[in-house]
């Protein structure tokens, strides 16, 4: 499978804190990579750098063979890399459907003060995404009324509207019950498979990692301490001690 995302010697410090410590990383098309690591290990920082939200002090990010270091998040989304956030970033006073419509016009660069959101979107595509993430029944609900699990799914659905080749999800199951975690992951993986989207997801729950990842990268102090199959990384004594706390 072809190389989709690559970083070379990616570094970033915040004062004395080394949040990214010379990270060399590769992701191939079709992978489902789980990123694990203790709080503050640098997982979100890595995502922020790759998606253009934060500039590294040094190093390179390549996406699909092109250097994208320093490009804006908008440019990076248009190249095919999207993300969801640790805390869902929704338009709280919009309905579920309107949020997806906004994402759709963002992809098509059509948004202006006079854009008619529903006319600017393909309603069949919208219905399909709503169906995929199980939110069709709630499409006219205001976001502020959604429980956390459905907010997470909507945040991801908004990313899917951008039709990314790579979707990076920062803790898609945080803040929900154990049972709900599994149903969110089932919905998510089905949607990603259908759209043939490669994915990275940050996850603290080992059961979820075992069940859904094809590969695991473990972060310690801003660096990738292990990167291999779930079986190998989760059985690594250093990772068990420093990351999993067992
Ligand atoms: N904008 C910032 N300014 C200063 N320090 C920051 C900033 N962003 C991150 N950090 C620090 O960099 C380190 C890595 O943070 P990061 O958010 O990447 O960790 P994380 O692995 O995502 O943690 P969590 O599991 O809690 O989400 C932490 O020590 C954090 O406090
Ligand atoms: Mg984080």
| Domain architecture of the chain: domains with CATH | 3-244 (3.40.50.300)
At 23 the three-state DSSP class reads strand
**Ligand 2 centroid, distance to 104 Cα (angstroms):** 27
**% of the chain beyond a pLDDT of 70:** 95
Q: What is the DSSP letter of 95?
A: B
**Ligand 1 contact, 41 CB (< 6 A):** yes
The whole-number average pLDDT for the span 191-208 is 95
**Ligand 1 contact, 35 CB (< 6 A):** no
The whole-number average pLDDT for the span 162-166 is 94
Given this model, what pLDDT does residue 120 score?
67
- Closest C-alpha to ligand 1, atom 18: 42
Burial 134-161 (b: 16+ CB within 10 A, else e): bbeebbeebbeebebbbbbbbbbbbbbb
The whole-number average pLDDT for the span 156-180 is 92
The whole-number average pLDDT for the span 28-47 is 98
pLDDT band at 106 (very low <50, low <70, confident <90, very high): confident
- Distance of alpha carbon 112 from its chain centroid, rounded? 27
Given this model, what pLDDT does residue 246 score?
86
Query: Of the ranges 94-103, 106-115, 193-202, 231-240, which one carries the lowest mean pLDDT score?
Result: 106-115
pLDDT band at 90 (very low <50, low <70, confident <90, very high): confident
pLDDT at 108 over 80: no
**Ligand 1 contact, 149 CB (< 6 A):** no
Where does the chain show beta strands of DSSP type E? 3-14, 17-28, 32-37, 58-63, 66-67, 81-84, 166-169, 198-202, 215-220, 223-228
**Ligand 1 centroid, distance to 76 Cα (angstroms):** 22
**Ligand 1 contact, 88 CB (< 6 A):** no
Mean pLDDT of the chain: 93
Given this model, what pLDDT does residue 239 score?
98
**Ligand 1 contact, 37 CB (< 6 A):** yes
């Amino acid at each position: 499978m072809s190389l989709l995302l690559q970083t070379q010697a990616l570094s970033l410090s915040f004062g004395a804190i080394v949040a990214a410590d010379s990270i060399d990383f590769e992701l191939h098309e079709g992978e489902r990579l789980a990123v694990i690591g203790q709080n503050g290990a640098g997982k979100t920082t890595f995502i922020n750098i790759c998606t253009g939200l934060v500039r590294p002090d040094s190093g390179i990010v390549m996406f699909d063979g092109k250097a994208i270091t320093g490009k804006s998040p908008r440019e990076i989304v248009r190249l095919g890399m999207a993300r969801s956030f640790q805390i869902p970033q929704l338009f709280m006073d919009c309905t579920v459907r309107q949020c997806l419509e906004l994402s759709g016009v963002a992809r098509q660069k059509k948004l202006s003060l006079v854009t008619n959101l529903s006319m600017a979107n393909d309603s069949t595509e919208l219905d399909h995404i709503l169906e995929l993430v199980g939110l069709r029944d709630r499409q006219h609900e205001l976001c502020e009324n959604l429980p956390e699990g459905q907010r997470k799914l909507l945040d991801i659905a908004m990313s899917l509207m951008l039709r990314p080749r790579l979707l990076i999800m920062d803790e898609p199951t945080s803040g929900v019950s154990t049972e709900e975690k599994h149903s969110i992951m089932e919905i998510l993986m089905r949607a990603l498979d259908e759209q043939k989207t490669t994915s990275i997801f940050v996850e603290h729950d080992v059961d979820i990692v075992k069940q859904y990842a094809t590969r695991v990268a473990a972060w310690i102090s801003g660096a990738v301490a292990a990167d291999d199959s779930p079986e190998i990384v989760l059985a690594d004594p250093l990772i068990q001690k420093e990351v999993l706390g067992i």
